[in-house]
């Protein structure tokens, strides 16, 4: 028999228990925290059986509407836990490594010690510090071909001598300090790994005990979460609660013993909690500047730009960039905070039409994404109403053939074609600026299969610097959000004034050159993730604060990641699903346990994938082999 609703809302026993541990956690030694992190990592990698990850993967696939007896459904199940395992493992390893430095058990890389920082002055005078790859295991690891740097806040860092690393007390100016505090973390619904990383960062970087409230569509992960976080839960520093009602969530967030609040989600949810769910109350609070919550950090969304610098591209470069762009427009039914949402191009550019056609061709090759996140269809239909004449790419008639069922948030199984919205942007006239400022697609994050193509009038391949200046103004001033973005540029132009001006002027928390901006999150140490500094709870768009700063470098403004322009062809949903699943399984098993047997299986799986360049097969095997040898040479 269910308990009365009022008692459910008012039962705060576990929250109070966690709250009582705030001072104890705040004064826990570095050595004890390191031991706890290592316990969590051991459970994650060794005690949780692979079959358990498969079980939650199947539940996730069913939640999204896939039949797990089909090849597509089996792939969806593997993707669910692969992304979790891969990213959580990376974050745990980075955090453990940082704590070992903090405990004096290992030396930091020489380039992260005073006087040895590898820095440069950007084209605008900002101090830029190299952050990836610096550790040997990263140089030899999966992302060793990439590099990243952080751009320092010029109001606080003017020269190299001011740059610090592993300065944990300074890296978060609003941390709880030695007094301790209780933070409520609201879980994300679109990706399950986000909550795990948010909890780690709140506790081990920001010094809070945590009461975690799961998202309603992700409750099936709670048992596994409780197993992996058992070292913290058993000591009373963390509690996990399955989602029940919005009323219950509000009651927890507003509890008087809560000191801080962190969420990953959307602006609308943020504003309802911070300013009030009732429209009249919210308006009054905004007018009087009296928020219901104050110590708030968040990672929200954005209309993520993908800026293509006008230059000369080979067909392989265009194909590769279009492939990765479309893969992440498609991924998760385009319901990621960093899904590409607005392709930005020059008006006068010889290859414009060809490049855009390659992108459209790639979209047409993909199976339609299966929308599962609450409100996806509603948002998509609203965009269709705003742009009724815009083309839809793909057919929605294969629901039966794919054996799809209704996703958790839908009454029936649905598929949504990609909506293509071409818009010409004129920032040279007052009327053009006004039109851009009111454009629906520039002010509303779709979180649905929608892709806008913005052509900037008055820009050409003959003046890349002007294009860069115009594109940065467009992205900064007319597109909603400041979280992340991508810049595609020919390799010969990346270090030139035009592209470097674009990087310098774009106000985004993370920029990736020639790759999806999500790699800023994936790199961990080398990336760092969060909105561009300067947002407030009253003017929120993409959020406040950063996660992933395990190097503990104070005063970071943004991260910039550089990648080769040509990538291995995606084993995507448009091609061989069985092969892709084989590779993901092998990679996941090797990530969890880097044994020689799992290495051999990974190499075998990779050889089975059609790569854009055959040499990448050898490179991938060599990278994995070097990583294995490095990890085990001291055993």
The listed CATH number (3.30.530.20, 3.40.50.1390, 3.10.129.10, 3.40.309.10) that belongs to domain 304-517 = 3.40.309.10
Tokens in use for 482? Answer: 């400041």
**Cα 290 to chain center, whole Å?**
31
Q: What is the pLDDT of residue 593?
A: 84
Which sign does the torsion angle of CA 497, 158, 295, 28 carry? Answer: positive
Q: What CATH fold (topology level) applies to the domain 5-103+171-265? A: Aldehyde Dehydrogenase; Chain A, domain 1 (3.40.605)
Sites in the chain below the pLDDT cut of 50: 1-7, 174-177, 570-574, 609-635
Burial call 143-178: b when 16+ CB within 10 Å, e when fewer: bbebbbbbbbeeeebeebeebbbbebeebbeebbee
Q: Which residues contact 76 (CB under 8 A, 6 or more apart)?
A: 60, 61, 64, 66, 68
Round to whole Å and give the CA distance between 164 and 162.
Answer: 6
For residues 547 and 94, the answer to whether their CB atoms sit within 8 Å is no
Q: What is the pLDDT of residues 270-327, one digit of tens each?
A: 999 999 999 999 999 999 999 999 899 999 999 999 999 999 999 999 999 999 999 9
Q: Which residues contact 192 (CB under 8 A, 6 or more apart)?
A: 60, 80, 84, 218, 221
The candidate with the shortest Cα–Cα distance to 183, out of 166, 170, 201, 167, is: 201
For residues 538 and 518, the answer to whether their CB atoms sit within 8 Å is no
Round to whole Å and give the CA distance between 33 and 30.
Answer: 5
DSSP per-residue letters across 360-379: HHHHHHSPPP---STTHHHH
Round to whole Å and give the CA distance between 212 and 219.
Answer: 12
Name the residue ranges covered by the structural domains of the chain: 5-103+171-265, 304-517, 577-632
Q: Classify 134 as helix, strand or coil.
A: coil
Round to whole Å and give the CA distance between 144 and 490.
Answer: 20
Round to whole Å and give the CA distance between 472 and 507.
Answer: 8
Question: If 0-12 CB within 10 Å is exposed, 13-18 middle and 19+ buried, where does residue 511 land?
Answer: buried
The model's pTM is 0.92
Count CA atoms within 13 Å of residue 92 on its CB side.
Answer: 23
Q: What is the pLDDT of residues 233-251, one digit of tens each?
A: 999 999 999 977 888 988 9
Tokens in use for 406? Answer: 């209704």
């Amino acid at each position: 028999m269910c308990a009365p609703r009022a008692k459910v809302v008012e039962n705060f026993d576990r929250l109070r228990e966690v709250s009582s541990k705030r001072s104890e956690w705040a004064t826990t030694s570095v050595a004890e925290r390191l031991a706890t992190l290592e316990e969590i990592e051991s459970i994650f990698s060794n005690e949780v059986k692979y079959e358990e990850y498969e079980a939650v993967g199947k539940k996730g696939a069913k939640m999204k509407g896939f039949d797990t007896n089909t090849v597509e459904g089996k792939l969806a199940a593997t993707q669910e836990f692969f992304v979790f395992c891969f990213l959580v493992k990376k974050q745990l390893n980075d955090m453990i490594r940082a704590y070992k430095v903090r405990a004096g058990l290992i030396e930091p890389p020489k380039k992260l010690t005073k006087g040895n920082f590898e820095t440069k002055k950007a084209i605008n005078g900002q101090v830029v510090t190299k952050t990836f790859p610096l550790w040997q295991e990263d140089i030899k690891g999966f992302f060793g071909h990439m590099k990243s740097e952080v751009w320092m806040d010029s109001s606080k860092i003017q020269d190299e001598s001011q740059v610090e690393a592993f300065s944990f007390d300074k890296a978060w100016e609003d941390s709880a300090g030695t007094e301790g505090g209780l933070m409520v973390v609201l879980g994300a619904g679109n990706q399950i790994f986000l909550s795990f990383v948010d909890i780690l960062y709140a506790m081990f970087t920001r010094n809070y005990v945590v009461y975690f409230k799961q998202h309603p569509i992700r409750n099936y992960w709670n048992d596994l979460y409780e197993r992996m976080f058992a070292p913290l839960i058993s000591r009373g520093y963390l509690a996990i609660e399955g989602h029940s009602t919005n009323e219950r969530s509000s009651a927890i967030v507003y509890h008087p013993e809560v000191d801080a609040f962190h969420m990953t989600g959307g602006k609308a949810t943020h504003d309802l909690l911070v300013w009030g769910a009732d429209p009249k109350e919210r308006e009054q609070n905004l007018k009087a500047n009296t928020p219901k919550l104050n110590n708030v950090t968040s990672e929200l969304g954005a209309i993520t730009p993908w800026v293509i610098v006008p230059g000369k591209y080979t067909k392989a470069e265009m194909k590769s960039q279009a492939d990765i762009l479309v893969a992440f427009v498609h991924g998760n039914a385009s319901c990621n905070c960093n899904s590409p949402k607005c392709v930005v191009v020059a008006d006068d550019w010889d290859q414009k039409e060809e490049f855009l056609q390659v992108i459209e061709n790639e979209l047409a090759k993909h199976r339609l994404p299966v929308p599962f996140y609450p409100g996806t269809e509603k948002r998509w239909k609203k965009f269709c109403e705003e742009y009724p004449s815009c083309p839809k790419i793909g057919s929605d008639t294969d629901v039966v053939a794919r054996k799809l069922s209704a996703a958790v948030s839908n009454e029936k199984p649905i598929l949504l074609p990609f909506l293509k919205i071409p818009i010409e942007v004129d920032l040279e006239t007052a009327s053009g600026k006004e039109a851009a400022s009111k454009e629906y697609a520039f002010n509303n994050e779709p979180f649905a299969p929608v892709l806008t193509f913005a052509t900037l009038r008055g820009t050409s391949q003959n003046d890349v610097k002007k294009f860069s200046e115009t594109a940065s103004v467009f992205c900064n001033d007319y597109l909603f959000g400041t979280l992340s973005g991508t810049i595609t540029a020919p390799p010969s132009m990346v270090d030139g004034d035009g592209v470097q001006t674009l990087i310098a002027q774009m106000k985004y928390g993370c920029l990736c050159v020639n790759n999806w901006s999500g790699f800023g999150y994936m790199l961990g140490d080398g990336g760092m993730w969060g909105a561009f500094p300067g947002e407030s709870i009253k003017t929120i768009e993409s959020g406040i604060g950063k996660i992933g700063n395990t190097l503990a470098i104070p005063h970071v403004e943004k991260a910039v990641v550089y990648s080769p322009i040509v990538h291995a062809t995606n084993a995507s949903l448009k091609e061989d699903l069985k092969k892709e699943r084989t590779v993901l399984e092998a990679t996941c098993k090797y990530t969890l346990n880097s044994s020689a047997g799992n290495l051999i299986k990974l190499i075998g799986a990779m050889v089975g994938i059609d790569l854009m360049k055959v040499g990448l097969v050898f490179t991938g095997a060599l990278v994995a082999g070097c990583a294995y040898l490095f990890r085990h040479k001291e055993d």
